[in-house]
């Protein structure tokens, strides 16, 4: 189902037979809503989000491509999140069976203007699928279609903003004892302690390196655990802007940091290089369990 939303931007709504749903703006191929079978919203979307190009939408799941953060010459997090995507009418077969899922296939190709800032030709195909249990699967396939024989290199993230009841009651499991680059400390490298990660008093902006493929975000107050499973995305970024940074962002409420946490399936430390004709795949699957995981 395609509907007109704010400012004439179009969004696609996927509804699963058991009642879960997902909303995706063609602007940025940006998932802005993911609801479980009870109709509860699972993603954070800022009440101050600006739905007006070229501003990326604050919240949901922005796609960072071809550059994560400001680690290169492009605008922060690249340009995929503020381009208008199209429907992919002729998607190639995807490796994962689409049975029991509702899905949509979107595609991004660079315009001449894009080519000026990133001189590469590519096809970025994204399948967003929703299955039983509100499982949300996003599969990206990026192909180098350069005709000049040149490879290209990129970094990437699914920048998921989870909705949480109270950040001080949230724990992240799966990142203990890992090395990380601390974005708040000039990307200096540290090693995480043995305990699950909690959020106490200031901005957290860390790139965990070579993580397990499964990460859990536990919301104790809601007795809910988000499970992130990822493939082709070795790193995981954890971000909460906390008080000071929240106030500095025009499209983010001063107190909203209490109700969100970004855990981003990413490949940052080791950029991906594709030769012409080569394709990369990166997938994240989000699911929810309604009580604490014991693993």
In whole angstroms, how close is the CB of 79 to ligand BG6 at the nearest point? 12
- The helix or strand, by DSSP H or E, that contains position 113, with its residue range, turns out to be helix 112-117
Cα 3 to Cα 129: distance, rounded to the nearest angstrom? 18
In whole angstroms, how close is the CB of 49 to ligand BG6 at the nearest point? 11
Cα 232 to Cα 112: distance, rounded to the nearest angstrom? 29
**Is residue 69 a contact residue for ligand BG6 (CB under 6 A)?**
yes
Residue with token string 């590519």: 122
**Is residue 239 a contact residue for ligand BG6 (CB under 6 A)?**
yes
Which one among 88, 173, 219, 264 touches ligand BG6, defined by CB under 6 A?
Answer: 264
- The helix or strand, by DSSP H or E, that contains position 104, with its residue range, turns out to be strand 102-108
Q: Specify the pairing of strand 30-35 against strand 63-64.
A: unpaired
Cα 193 to Cα 182: distance, rounded to the nearest angstrom? 14
Q: What is the DSSP letter of 276?
A: T
In whole angstroms, how close is the CB of 157 to ligand BG6 at the nearest point? 6
In whole angstroms, how close is the CB of 205 to ligand BG6 at the nearest point? 5
Interface mask toward ligand BG6 for 158-177; x: CB under 6 A: -x------------------
Please give the positions annotated as active site: 159, 264
Nearest to 265 by CA among 283, 241, 288, 287: 283
Residues 190-229 binding ligand BG6 (CB under 6 A) are 205
Interface mask toward ligand BG6 for 38-57; x: CB under 6 A: ------------------x-
**Is residue 77 a contact residue for ligand BG6 (CB under 6 A)?**
yes
Q: Yes or no: say if 130 and 12 are a contact pair by the CB < 8 Å rule.
A: no
**Is residue 283 a contact residue for ligand BG6 (CB under 6 A)?**
no
Residues of this chain that interact with ligand BG6 (CB under 6 A) are 56, 69, 76-77, 159, 183, 205, 237, 239, 264
């Amino acid at each position: 189902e395609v509907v007109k939303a704010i400012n004439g931007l179009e969004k696609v709504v996927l509804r699963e037979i058991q009642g879960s749903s997902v909303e995706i703006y063609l602007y940025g191929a940006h998932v802005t809503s993911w609801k479980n079978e009870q109709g509860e919203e699972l993603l954070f979307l800022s009440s101050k989000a600006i739905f007006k190009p070229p501003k990326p939408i604050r919240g949901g799941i922005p796609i960072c491509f071809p550059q994560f953060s400001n680690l290169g010459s492009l605008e922060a997090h690249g340009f995929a999140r503020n381009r208008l995507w199209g429907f992919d009418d002729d998607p190639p077969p995807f490796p994962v069976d689409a049975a029991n899922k509702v899905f949509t296939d979107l595609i991004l190709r660079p315009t001449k203007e894009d080519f000026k800032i990133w001189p590469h030709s590519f096809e970025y195909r994204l399948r967003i699928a929703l299955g039983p249990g509100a499982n949300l699967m996003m599969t990206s396939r990026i192909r180098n279609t350069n005709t000049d024989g040149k490879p290209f290199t990129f970094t990437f993230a699914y920048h998921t903003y989870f909705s949480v009841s109270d950040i001080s009651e949230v724990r992240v499991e799966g990142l203990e004892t890992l090395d990380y680059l601390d974005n708040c400390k000039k990307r200096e490298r540290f090693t995480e302690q043995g305990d699950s990660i909690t959020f106490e008093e200031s901005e957290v902006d860390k790139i965990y390196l070579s993580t397990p493929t499964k990460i859990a975000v536990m919301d104790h107050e809601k007795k809910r655990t988000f499970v992130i499973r990822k493939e082709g995305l070795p790193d995981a970024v954890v971000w909460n802007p906390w008080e000071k940074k929240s106030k500095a962002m025009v499209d983010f409420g001063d107190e909203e940091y209490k109700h969100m946490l970004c855990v981003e399936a990413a490949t940052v430390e080791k950029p991906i290089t594709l030769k012409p004709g080569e394709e990369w795949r990166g997938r994240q699957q989000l699911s929810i369990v309604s009580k604490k995981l014991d693993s």
